[in-house]
Each structure stands twice: as C-alpha cells, then as structure tokens.
C-alpha cells in the first residue's frame, strides 16, 4: 500500500530540523543564507510520521541572453552589461531576491562575468520548461 505524502510550507518549529538535516547531507550544496532571503519559502514533504524532506524555493534574478546592436564594440557591450547588472541588483533588492544568476555561453561575456562580481559555480544547470509538460 502506498503511503500518502503531503507538502506544506515550513513552520517555525521546522527550522532546527531543516538545519540539522541540511548539515548532515554532504551532497546537497547547502547554503544557509538561502533560507534567509525574503523571497525564499521552505517547503516540507511529510507523512503521518512527520517531515520527510525539506527544500527551500528561492526566487533569484536570472539574467537571460543579451541582445546587442550589430557592430557594437566590445567596450560598448561591456558598458551595457555593467549597466544591466546594476539594474538587476536594484531589482534583486526590490524583490527580496538574494542571488543573481548569469548563464554564460560566450567566452567574452563569461570572462566579463568572472572578472567582475560573479563567481563561477560548480554545478550543472538543468531546466524544466512548464510549457513542455503538456507535450510529454
């Protein structure tokens, strides 16, 4: 017989358990700051025995692919990226987002990002497009 699993937002009493479980799992890339971001909600999967798993859902700012004017110089593009990054920082503050992500696909912009305030992450990135769920 399958057991029933349910999902609810974390409650005040779940914090210690979440921290303990996160610290004992060496493979989850736990960052304690994420749970503190104003836009983060931690979700709890539970059954009749209590919590089974917990996962924060944060709402970072995702910088998407840039479109530049044909013929723009590298300096002009770098200046535009600087201005856009500053705008996204302002938006992160306004929305309570604790992180900004930039997915590099071009050596020039990758170099700009790593020479500035971005840090490379040691993770693979996976994407789920909600619209594709209807065609599976």
Domain contains 89: yes
Range of the domain at 90: 61-135
Number of structural domains (the chain) is 2
Domain contains 1: no
- Give 118's contacts (C-beta < 8 A, 6+ positions apart): 102
What's the pTM value of the predicted model, to 2 decimals? 0.82
Higher pLDDT, 110 or 86: 86
Q: What sign has the CA pseudo-torsion 113, 114, 115, 118?
A: positive
Examine the domain organization and report whether 122 and 77 are in the same domain: yes
pLDDT digits (tens, 9 = 90+) for 8-55: 999 999 999 999 999 898 778 888 899 889 999 999 999 999 999 999
The DSSP code sequence of 45-114 is EEETTEEEEEEEE---EEE------TT--HHHHHHHHHHHHHHHHHHHHHHT---EEE---SHHHHHHHH
Examine the domain organization and report whether 117 and 80 are in the same domain: yes
């Amino acid at each position: 017989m399958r057991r029933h699993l349910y999902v609810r937002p974390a409650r005040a009493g779940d914090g210690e358990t979440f921290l303990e479980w996160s610290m004992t799992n060496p493979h989850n890339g736990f960052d304690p700051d994420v749970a503190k971001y104003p836009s983060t909600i931690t979700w709890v999967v539970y059954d009749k025995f209590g919590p089974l798993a917990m996962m924060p859902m944060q709402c970072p700012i995702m910088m998407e692919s840039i479109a530049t004017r044909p013929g723009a110089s590298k300096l002009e593009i770098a200046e535009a990226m600087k201005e856009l990054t500053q705008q996204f920082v302002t938006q992160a503050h306004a929305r309570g987002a604790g992180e900004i992500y930039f997915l590099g696909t071009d050596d020039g912009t990758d170099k700009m990002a790593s020479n500035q305030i971005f840090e490379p992450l040691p993770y693979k990135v996976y994407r789920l497009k909600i619209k594709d769920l209807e065609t599976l």
